[in-house]
């Protein structure tokens, strides 16, 4: 069967796009591998009407609502290849199954490359975060440690005093120039240049000199890379952002390959559930437009 749109990635962005298309009675296939970026977090904050909800529950509710539309097909699995061109794409799953579609939407998200600090990855989404708007409030103005990964960390260290008293660990990832030091001092940030040995307890930082500093939470600017190699493999132009790598799109969310669209974390910065949903809804409408008026 020929689908109007094959949505690869059935999380917030992909489902928001699919919803618009289904409501326009278009045939949509969603292929989803079930690896949401926020699966490490028990609560999602800042999404209107769902503040503090379980992020898995938000996704399950959305999926159940999508499945009420008769023109939806949903496949659990990983899309491993896409060939063809506008109006005649073919998407292959890792298990070998093939699906035909007139358009493709990549809503495949990003994955977070974390700094190689012992004990940090295990605490990702629990006491180690990247987004102050998502997880800052719950720290209740407690002490915050910022672990540097590069230039973005400086921005985190300067912003986070809005949520609590900040210690900035440069951890050999960054050298501070005098203006940075001055601004950090003005923001009452404590600068620690001794490297970190490991994280222990809830969010305690053990320094290489043996000191142990306790925090309510830690922040680190992860590097965001595409969660799926698909966009790059099929030749979509990619671009560097201060947060990592994303798929480049037009304002209508079309990639450099005609008929292939991209939305959500995979194709915009900054990142949040709200922004992914908004970007997805917009991509859905733009995909619909391209099906109604293919020559525009
Ligand atoms: P994702 O939710 O990452 O979904 C991508 C989907 O595509 C996944 O299901 C994946 O399995 C699938 N996929 C990828 N490749 C393929 C493939 N080849 N074939 C099939 N399927 C594929 N945001 C907030 O607003 N509030 C918060 O409190 C919050 N907390 C966060 C906590 C943590 C620890 C992290 C890391 C992020 C948090 N975020 C939060 C950000 C939020 O998770 C993302 O902005 C959001 O998930 C982006 O949605 P998306 O649909 O673009 O991508
Ligand atoms: Mg998605």
CA pair distance 190, 169, nearest whole angstrom = 9
Position 172 confidence tier, pLDDT thresholds 50, 70, 90: very high
Residue 247 is predicted with a pLDDT of 98
Q: Residue 223 pLDDT more than 90?
A: yes
Phi, psi of 164 (to 5 degrees): 170, 175
Our mutation pick for probing the ligand 1 site, out of 134, 244, 249, 278, counting the most ligand atoms within 8 A of Cβ, is: 134
CB distance 220 to ligand 1 below 6 Å = no
Picking from 97, 130, 135, the residue whose alpha carbon sits closest to that of residue 114 is: 130
Q: What share of the chain is helix, strand, coil (3-state, %, to 5)?
A: 30, 30, 40
Cis ω for the linkage preceding 61 (within 30 of 0): no
pLDDT digits (tens, 9 = 90+) for 26-79: 999 999 999 999 999 999 999 999 999 999 999 999 999 999 999 999 999 999
Residue 221 is predicted with a pLDDT of 97
Q: What is the pTM of this model?
A: 0.97
CA pair distance 77, 95, nearest whole angstrom = 8
Q: Please give the full DSSP string across 80-127, using - where no structure is assigned.
A: EEEEEETTEEEEEETTS-EEEEEEEEE---EEEEPP--BTTGGGBTTT
pLDDT digits (tens, 9 = 90+) for 226-273: 999 999 999 999 999 999 999 999 999 999 999 999 999 999 999 999
User: How far does the centroid of ligand 1 lie from the alpha carbon of residue 183, in Å?
Assistant: 33
Residue 295 is predicted with a pLDDT of 82
């Amino acid at each position: 069967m020929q689908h109007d749109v094959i949505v690869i990635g059935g999380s917030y962005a992909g489902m928001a796009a699919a919803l618009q298309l289904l409501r326009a009675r278009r045939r949509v296939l969603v292929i989803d591998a079930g690896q949401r970026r926020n699966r490490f977090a028990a609560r999602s904050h800042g999404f209107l009407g769902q503040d503090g909800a379980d992020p898995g529950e938000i996704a399950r509710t959305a999926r159940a609502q999508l499945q009420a539309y008769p023109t939806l097909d949903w496949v659990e699995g990983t899309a491993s290849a896409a060939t063809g061109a506008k109006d005649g794409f073919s998407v292959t799953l890792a298990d070998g199954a093939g699906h035909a579609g007139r358009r493709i939407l990549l809503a495949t998200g990003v994955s977070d490359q974390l700094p190689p600090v012992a004990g940090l990855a295990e605490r990702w989404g629990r006491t180690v975060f990247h987004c102050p708007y998502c997880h800052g409030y719950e720290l209740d103005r407690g002490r915050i440690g910022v672990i540097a990964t590069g230039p973005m960390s400086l921005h985190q260290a300067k912003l986070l005093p809005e949520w609590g008293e900040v210690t900035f660990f440069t951890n050999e990832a960054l050298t501070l120039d005098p203006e940075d030091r001055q601004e950090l001092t003005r923001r009452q940030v404590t600068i620690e240049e001794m490297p970190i040995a490991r994280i222990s307890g809830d969010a305690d930082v053990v320094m290489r000199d043996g000191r142990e500093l306790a925090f309510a939470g830690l922040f680190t600017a992860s590097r965001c890379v595409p969660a799926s190699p698909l966009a790059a493999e099929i030749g979509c132009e990619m671009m560097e952002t201060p947060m990592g790598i994303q798929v480049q799109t037009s304002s209508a969310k079309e990639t450099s390959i005609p008929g292939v669209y991209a939305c959500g974390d995979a194709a915009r910065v900054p990142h949040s559930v709200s922004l992914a949903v908004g970007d997805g809804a917009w991509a859905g409408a733009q995909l619909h437009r391209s099906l109604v008026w293919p020559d525009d």
